[in-house]
């Protein structure tokens, strides 16, 4: 009974928040969160942007130039990832705030027991985003009528790791062979820019070689001269396909 009551309260809370979330189309993402030491550490900013776009938002890093239609900073949502204190686990939740620091939506906590930091933060953040995706966000077109503090459209010169830079992303999106590695248990899933999972790879004792599964085809993903190749047999002939993987 207590469990059912808790679930009901969570749903009511999320429903109440979601009424305001739909008033916003775009979200601003910081490159560094309070608990991280460097920009895009553990690729949290990159993963946040990926998930926000998947959830139906237009997502921008704090250093990106945005259009003049967002001159009113109160027409934007402001995103944050918060790390909760937890023993032997990684526990994260995500928060959306308005221009006055009022919480518009807070997700349920995503928890990971992974010992590897990269895997743990990725799993916890993805789990936190489950409740964001459940909102089925759809911009209602009303916007937020507020004339407080115009936001500048001049980009701040902040360095981003090359793997997640805007320039690299633009180039990658024009290259259908580029896939992005997202940690899963014992390996990675490789997704394209749509995004769609195109392959899953699993760790072996060799860091430069993974067992790879692409559809009904099984082979290996192997590194040669700093490049990755998907190799498999087809009609007793070894096929080697070059794949650009962004880890």
Reference 99, options 28, 166, 165, 10; nearest CA is 28
pLDDT digits over 6-51, tens only? 343 344 344 334 346 888 999 999 999 999 999 999 999 999 999 9
Helical (H) or strand (E) element with 120: helix 117-133
Residue at 155 is within a domain: no
Angle at 93 between CA 91 and CA 94, to 5 degrees: 150
Domain count, the chain: 2
Residue at 151 is within a domain: no
Q: Are 129 and 214 in a shared domain?
A: no
Residue at 237 is within a domain: yes
Q: Which domain holds residue 189?
A: 175-246
Residue ending a domain, among 133, 157, 188, is 133
Q: Are 165 and 150 in contact (CB under 8 A)?
A: no
Look up the pTM and report it. 0.53
pLDDT digits over 161-181, tens only? 444 444 434 434 455 568 888
Residue at 163 is within a domain: no
Q: Are 197 and 180 in contact (CB under 8 A)?
A: no
Residue ending a domain, among 113, 133, 153, is 133
φ, ψ for residue 163 (rounded to 5)?
-70, -20
Q: Which residues of the chain have pLDDT under 50?
A: 1-19, 145-173
DSSP 135-187: T-----S-------SBPP-SPP-----GGG-HHHHHHHHT-TTEEEEEEETTE
Residue at 116 is within a domain: yes
């Amino acid at each position: 009974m207590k469990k059912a009551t808790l679930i009901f309260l969570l749903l009511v809370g999320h429903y109440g928040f979601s009424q305001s979330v739909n008033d916003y189309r775009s979200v601003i993402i910081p490159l560094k969160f309070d608990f991280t030491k460097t920009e895009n550490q553990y690729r949290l900013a990159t993963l946040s942007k990926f998930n926000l776009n998947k959830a139906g938002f237009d997502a921008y890093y704090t250093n990106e130039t945005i259009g003049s239609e967002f001159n009113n900073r109160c027409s934007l949502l402001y995103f944050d990832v918060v790390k909760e204190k937890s023993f032997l686990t990684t526990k994260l939740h995500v928060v959306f705030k308005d221009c006055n620091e009022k919480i518009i939506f807070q997700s349920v906590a995503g928890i990971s027991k992974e010992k590897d930091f990269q895997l743990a933060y990725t799993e916890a953040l993805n789990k936190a985003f489950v409740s964001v995706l459940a909102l089925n966000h759809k911009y209602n077109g009303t916007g937020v009528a507020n004339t407080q503090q115009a936001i500048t459209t001049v980009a701040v010169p902040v360095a981003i790791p090359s793997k997640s830079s805007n320039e690299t992303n633009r180039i990658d999106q024009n290259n259908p062979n580029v896939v992005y590695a997202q940690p899963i248990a014992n390996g990675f899933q490789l997704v394209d820019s749509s995004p769609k999972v195109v392959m899953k790879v699993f760790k072996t004792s060799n860091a430069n070689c993974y067992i790879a599964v692409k559809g009904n085809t099984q082979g290996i993903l192997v590194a040669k001269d700093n490049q990755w190749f998907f190799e498999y047999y087809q009609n007793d002939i070894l096929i080697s396909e070059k794949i650009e993987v962004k880890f």
